[in-house]
Amino acid sequence: MATSLSDRLGAELTGLRDSGLLIHPRVLEAPQRARTRVDGHDVVNLASNNYLGFADHPEIKARAEQYLREWGAGAGAVRTIAGTLQIHEDFERQLAEFKHTGSALVLQSGFTTNQGVLGTLLREGDLVVSDELNHASIIDGLRLTKATKRIYKHADPEDLDRVLSENDTGGLKLVVTDGVFSMDGDIAPLGRLIEVARKYGAVTYVDDAHGSGVLGEAGRGTVHHFGYEHADDVIQVGTLSKAWGAVGGYAAGHRDLRELLINRARPYLFSTAQPPAVVGALSEALELVQRDPSFMERLWENTRYFKAELARLGFDTMGSQTPITPVLFGEAGAAFEASRRLLDEGIFAVGLGFPTVPRGQARIRNIVTAEHTREDLDQALAAYERVGRALGVVG
């Protein structure tokens, strides 16, 4: 007899519950800021990707409201039929200028951008070589292609060289890496990866979800940080939902990349365009970060302070180089219990376990933002010390 839907759902949920991995998302009862309210608690927020504090910034909200009033609530259609408003094209030119690339195209999310771009570029007979810790959206995007797929060891140019040397092809060769890895907070050795890729005639594809708005001049990203922003053999993709405070994804690079994606990328072709308010918010975000360098300065000042103090207390932050600051607890139960205790202490920081991170490497991932004050960070550090001592994580 066939499995019923009820049986399948029940069995899957029971398995997650028994393994301690069942997720119950916390509910925010106030705007996304450095201090917010979660499940009835007033908290210091260390769980958000709101790096620059733009999600509730008054100037960004004002531009969103302006575009809403002038252009309406929605685009009304997919871009290729009747959904391309002048503001969409204006923002894409602005984004290409910001990224120092020949073109840029905006899609509905960072996740769908990877699906659309990888699905468009790769075909049977091509080779794609991917870092073993790349984001799930890259993994899913690659599953949609018929290209030959290979993995190289995390952030290891020598292993990338080995894999490319052992897998020759007459088709397109693509090396795929995150710019900043979302769970460990480390930066890809992009300069060395690009040079290895060029040795074999390969294109480098960088998912800069956590590097855009964080690294490079005015937050132009990891590619800019390493000085390759003008390179036609480097493709940048990413999200507009983290540092930029809104939602969407982008692809930037070669001058012809945009036109091909317009014609072939399925998420672009079959999803309604971004609402005008989102476009307005994003346009203001790019202008704001360029005219006011204090956002980036505060982000990195807070990051350095928080990491140094966690290390002084004896916590393992796993070699993070960016505002993503994991605190290692080992087993999922310990990380989830620490997260619960921190919330009781007024600190919102979420525990992560398998399959989000490998077994035995459960952690709490903290993200420091430009909006946090020293008082916020000191409150969080004091709570971490109490919880860490109570759980035997630090002495």
Collapsed DSSP state (helix, strand, coil) of residue 268: helix
Is residue 182 flagged as an active site residue?
yes
- What angle do the packed helices 257-264 and 110-121 form, to 10 degrees? 100
Which candidate in 88, 99, 135, 242 is catalytic?
Answer: 242
Q: Is residue 386 within a helix (H) or strand (E), and if so which, with residue range?
A: helix 374-390
Which string of b and e fits 145-169 if b means at least 16 CB within 10 Å?
Answer: bebbbeebebbbbebbbebbeeeee
Residue in the structure block whose two tokens are 């009820």? 6
Count CB atoms within 10 A of the CB of residue 132.
11
Going through the chain in order, the beta strands assigned E by DSSP cover 35-38, 41-45, 103-107, 127-131, 148-152, 173-178, 203-207, 234-239, 249-253, 324-330, 347-348, 351-352, 362-367
Cis ω on the peptide bond leading into residue 355 (within 30° of 0)? yes
Which candidate in 57, 135, 173, 210 is catalytic?
Answer: 210
Please name which of 121, 128, 84, 142 lies closest in space to residue 254, comparing C-alpha atoms.
Answer: 121
Count CB atoms within 10 A of the CB of residue 327.
26
The token pair at 153 is: 């060891």
Which candidate in 182, 241, 320, 339 is catalytic?
Answer: 182
Residues forming the active site = 182, 210, 242
